[in-house]
Structure formats: C-alpha cells, structure tokens
Amino acid sequence: MKKTKVLLDTDIGSDLDDALALSYLLAEPRCELMGVTTVTGEPQKRAMLAHQLCSIANKDVPIYPGAATPMYGKQHQCDAPQAAALKNRTAKNFPDGKAIQFMRDTIRENPGEIVLLSIAPLTNIGLLFSIDPEIPRLLKGLVLMCGVFHYKLPELKNYQYEWNAIGDPFATSIVYNSPVTLHRSIGLDVTFKATMDLPKAQKRFTSKLLEPVLEFSKYYTDYPHITFHDPLAAMSIFHDDILEYEQGKVNLVQGHEGYEAMTRWSRDEEDSPHQVASEVDAPKFFDKYFSSF
C-alpha cells in the first residue's frame, strides 16, 4: 500500500476537531504521519495533548511546539483549555524553537512528497514560507482548514471571519500568496454541514484512539454540538468522494473591529491557484470517519 506523507500543524487543545483529525490520521492506514507541530497559546501543552494520542496509537511521531504568538497582530487564542485533561498524566517536555526547522528539513528531505495539513492559525506556515520561500514549490500539496467563501448557509451571514484566517492575518496573507501545486482550502461553507450533537458524538467515541477525545470533551462546554471542521480537511487527502471543489483565487481583504484577513473568493481569474471546497456529502463523511477506527 502506497502511503501519503503528511505533516500536521495544529492548535489541538481548544476545539475538539483537532484531536478528531489527529486521531483519524493515526488510524488511516494510507497516512504516513511525518510529524506534528503545534501553534498559538501554550504550544507545549498542545504538544502534550498530541503526544497522548500518538502514544495510544503506539506511533513514535516527532512533535514540536511552534509559535505561541502571531507573526503580527493580536493574539486571539492564549491558552489550551483541554490541557486540563493532562493533570493526572506524566508531562513530557518538547524542544522549543525547532518546529520551523523540523518542517523545513522534513520537506526538503522529501521533495514533492509531503502534504502539509494546517488546521490552525497559519503562523508556523507563514514563518516557514518566509524563512525558505522555495518550500511551497517542494510540497506535494497544502491543505488548509481555513476561510469562509460561498456563504451558502443562512447562518454564515454572521461569520464574516474564520478563526484560523484571522488568527494571524499576516501569516494568512503569506500562505495564500505562496506558489503550491495543490493549494486546497476547506472552509466554513462546507464544514458547518458536518455537525453532530455533542452527546451523540460522545457515544461514538468508543475506540481506544478516541477515548482521550472523550476525556477532552469534558473541557469543551461552550457548545452543545461538535462541528468536524478539521477531520474534513484531513480526510480530503485520502478520500476524493466526500467533497466537491471549485478552482479560483482566494483574496484577503481588510476587516474591521480589530479583525483582518477576511477571505474572498473569485472564480474568474486566469491560472487561478486555489482549490476551495464547495459541497460535502456529510452522511458519507461520518460513515467513513467512524469506520476508520
């Protein structure tokens, strides 16, 4: 079986969907998880959460804490609340200041083979592309859970901004203006269609690999449901029949009220570099997701 090499950049520890995405990657037999980097507030604690999942999967995956603050602008995510689930576990320290170099070395050692999956604010990726501008061309693909584009759902009228895009507007601009062979975004337009009531989802977290997510969910109390934003992005790497896409150009525009990086979508530009998800088969997604464990 030919495997796809994946580097994951995540802010695991805030919403549950990061842990659900990492669990899927660890369970997917076609995934060769080359490493995990963490980003935004308390990246060390986020690394510990990622390590817990990798340990349960019996996989020795390199894990590196990355940037704790944006390249530029306000920090919107200062802590990792689900790290409270680590209180009774032995802590492990991870090397600080090496995440970007690790990503760079891994991609350069595997030119044209790495899919870089970002399910977090784009600080680490922006730093990587700034330090080594050749890196985007050395990727097999870049897959982002980022943005809001089509506004097809009524509730999206209140979502002018998407969390990962505004987490570091400067980095977001760098990433969307970088030349990557496959530059894919899975936005709120489709991820909001993959939502499950929290109690129903908790009942399905029965596999060994999902048991920690059940524990993390005790510290996820603000919402009565889970939206599987990040697992959709992860599964898009391995399943072509879950999402539909449109080709075009993503532009970033200035926001207001202290926010920036509003994503805007255009289909009518020649040689448009970006692929944006437009539809999802949610029942098929959930069936394939839970059958992976």
- CATH number, domain of 185, equals 3.90.245.10
Per-residue pLDDT averaged across 167-192, rounded? 92
The token pair at 40 is 């935004």
pLDDT tens digits, 108-141: 999 999 999 999 999 999 999 999 999 999 999 9
pLDDT-derived band at 79 (thresholds 50, 70, 90) equals confident
pTM over cut 0.85: yes
CB 22 within 8 A of CB 8: yes
Strands of the sheet with 262-266, listed across from one edge: 63-65, 31-38, 4-10, 114-119, 141-145, 183-186, 274-280, 243-253, 262-266
**78: pLDDT strictly greater than 90:** no
The domain tally of the chain equals 1
Q: Give the domain range for residue 189.
A: 4-290
**259: pLDDT strictly greater than 70:** no
